[in-house]
């Protein structure tokens, strides 16, 4: 039985679109909340008959129990705006190179270079809207969410004609998530001594991306940082 704040994932080969060894599989919705909050700039991929259509956009993530939706907008000429139906949205978490020399058993286990990273593929049904009321609310919500992070206070004013006119150039989207593939490759398949050594080496590098990976290495199954 699934635990609270968790979701069921599929076995490899059972209609999965990404390689997901069980050691790297996350099914914790609290962890997904954290990933979406820290990394809101998403990749959207729609499968077509010829080749995939790919776009990139910041998104607003909302979860109510196990129901998840993501909202954002694209420029009206973007080819993805003509796609209706299934879509995959990728949330890219932190990533960093891992040197084999960081592992205490580098010689005895013949360790090789690798890469630690966190990523989520959210599959679902896509819908679009272009009416002024919904678009204005979306731009307002986006600005209220992101402006504080840069010390700003810009907001959409529906009473301003110049702002309303700019809405004509965008289309809003909403993705209702039906399936999640959540991968965190963070040295879980190594012995504890290696995990600690890799964590400490990443922290010691002193750059933000390495520190973010190290921070995820301390994220436990209960959705807390240990």
Where are the chain's structural domains? Answer: 22-217
Task: Please compute Rg for the chain using Cα positions.
Answer: 20
Fold of 22-217: Pnp Oxidase; Chain A (2.30.110)
Q: What percent of the chain has pLDDT over 70?
A: 89
Phi and psi at residue 56, in whole multiples of 5°? -135, 140
| Structural tokens at position 31 | 């962890």
Q: How far apart are CA 187 and CA 24, in angstroms?
A: 9
Whether the predicted pLDDT of 192 surpasses 70: yes
Name which of 112, 104, 116, 125 is nearest 177 in CA terms.
Answer: 125
Question: For 38-55, what is each residue's pLDDT tens digit?
Answer: 999 999 999 887 889 999
Q: Give the mean pLDDT of the chain.
A: 90
Residue 13: the pLDDT is 39
Specify the 3-state DSSP secondary structure of 150.
Answer: helix
Specify the 3-state DSSP secondary structure of 137.
Answer: helix
Residue where the block lists tokens 């990533």: 95
- Quickly state the pLDDT bin for 175 (edges 50, 70, 90): very high
Weakest-pLDDT range from 66-75, 156-165, 179-188, 197-206: 156-165
Pairing of strands 67-75, 85-98: unpaired
């Amino acid at each position: 039985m699934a635990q609270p704040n968790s979701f069921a994932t599929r076995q490899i080969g059972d209609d999965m679109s990404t390689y997901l060894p069980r050691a790297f599989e996350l099914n914790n919705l609290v962890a997904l909340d954290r990933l979406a909050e820290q990394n809101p700039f998403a990749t959207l991929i729609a499968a077509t008959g010829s080749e995939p259509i790919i776009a990139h956009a910041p998104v607003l993530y909302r979860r109510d129990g196990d129901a998840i939706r993501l909202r954002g907008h694209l420029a009206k000429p973007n080819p993805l705006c003509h796609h209706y139906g299934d879509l995959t949205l990728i949330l890219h978490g932190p990533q960093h190179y891992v040197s084999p020399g960081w592992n205490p058993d580098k010689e005895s286990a013949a360790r090789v270079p690798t890469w630690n990273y966190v990523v989520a593929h959210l599959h679902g049904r896509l819908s679009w809207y272009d009416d002024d009321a919904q678009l204005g609310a979306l731009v307002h919500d986006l600005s209220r969410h992101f402006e504080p992070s840069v010390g700003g206070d810009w907001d959409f004013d529906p009473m301003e004609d110049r702002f309303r006119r700019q809405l004509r150039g965008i289309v809003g989207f909403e993705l209702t998530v039906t399936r999640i593939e959540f991968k965190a490759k963070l040295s879980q398949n190594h012995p504890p001594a290696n995990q600690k050594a890799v964590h400490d080496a990443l922290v010691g590098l002193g750059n933000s991306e390495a520190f973010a990976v190290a921070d995820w290495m301390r994220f436990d199954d209960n959705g807390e940082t240990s």
